[in-house]
Amino acid sequence: MSVAKRVGGEGGPLEPPESVQVGPFTYTLEFDQTALDREAHRREESLAGIARHAEQRIIVDPDQHGDGAREVVLHEVLHCVNVVTGQKGRMDHDEEERLVNAMSPTLLDTLRRNPRLVAWLMSSGS
């Protein structure tokens, strides 16, 4: 179930995308407490978000707001990148989590602080 959610921030609230393309795969982006609770119970840990690769779903805690929601989504996208690039299994779960935990807030901050870099990266041509 995809649940629309407003995520506030600079420039006013925006709707998060309904899906995220990672390589050739499209992941639905859902803010769904019931699905997240089910995953947390299954894993016996609390979760702010989870990427379900077999189902191509990213599930985020709907209580996450603004920067927190954006960081959780980017965190889960990085897990998806890890799977899509064949890196899953090259490190254990804890190592992957430490790496993604370190990268996601720093990458988000870097992208925000460098809008010209983002514009250049998103442009096509030479």
How do residues 15-58 score in pLDDT, each as one tens digit? 899 999 999 999 999 999 999 999 999 999 999 999 999 999 99
How do residues 61-76 score in pLDDT, each as one tens digit? 999 999 999 999 999 9
H helix runs in the chain, sequence order: 33-43, 66-84, 93-113, 115-122
Residue ranges per structural domain of the chain? 19-122
Specify the pTM: 0.86
**DSSP character for 14?**
B
